[in-house]
């Protein structure tokens, strides 16, 4: 019969003060980052660099992150479409020469090519902002690698077993008492 684990494989990240830091579970360097399980039955200290390792933990992506990624992809698609449109509207050399010799009364209004170029610059600027937001996004919930999670479960089970054993050993009647009979 398979029992439910004492805590789910869903860990929230918490930060503690520098004077409360403890050694990282992986590398033993002082760390202020703590991963706490959802039901707060398990916690351990880890370095922020370890959270970037996909073989240790993977972030659970919230809807806000997925929306950012979707907006970034839409901007990339818009950028490629604008680049294609610009290539089609690109003026040829003989058009520039003929425009040079003509009177430029309508210099005030931009050509379609210039409008597309301006729009492309705006899209590239928006895209760089979105890429920066996506790369700097701070995840708050992580899922441990299966092996690491099993290790956490085993450590919890081991602590529980040691506590029961300690209580059993310190209870009355565990060790035999010395005989109280007189030798005669």
Would you kindly state where each structural domain of the chain is located, as residue ranges? 11-60+139-161, 63-135
The alpha-helical segments, DSSP class H, found in the chain are 48-51, 63-89, 93-101, 112-135, 146-169
Q: Residue 19's pLDDT is what? A: 94
Closest by alpha carbon to 134, among 88, 46, 75?
75
Q: Residue 96's pLDDT is what? A: 62
pLDDT means per 10 residues in the chain (184 residues)? Answer: 83 94 94 94 94 93 92 92 85 63 58 84 91 90 95 94 93 81 76
For residue 36, how far is the Cα from the chain centroid? 15
């Amino acid at each position: 019969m398979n029992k439910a684990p004492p805590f789910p494989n869903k860990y929230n990240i918490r930060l503690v003060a520098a004077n409360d830091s403890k050694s990282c579970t992986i590398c033993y360097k002082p760390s202020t980052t703590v991963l706490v399980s959802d039901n707060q039955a398990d916690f351990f200290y880890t370095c922020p660099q370890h959270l970037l390792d996909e073989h240790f933990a993977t972030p659970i992506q919230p809807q806000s992150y997925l929306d950012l990624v979707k907006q970034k992809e839409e901007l990339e698609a818009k950028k490629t479409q604008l680049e294609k449109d610009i290539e089609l509207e690109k003026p040829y050399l003989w058009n520039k020469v003929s425009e040079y010799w003509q009177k430029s009364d309508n210099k005030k209004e931009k050509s379609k090519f210039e409008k597309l170029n301006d729009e492309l610059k705006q899209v590239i600027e928006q895209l760089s902002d979105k890429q920066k937001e996506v790369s700097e996004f701070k995840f708050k919930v992580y899922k441990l690698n299966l092996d690491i999670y099993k290790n956490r479960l085993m450590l919890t089970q081991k602590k529980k077993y040691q506590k029961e054993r300690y209580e059993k050993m310190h209870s009355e009647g565990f060790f035999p008492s010395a005989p109280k009979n007189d030798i005669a």
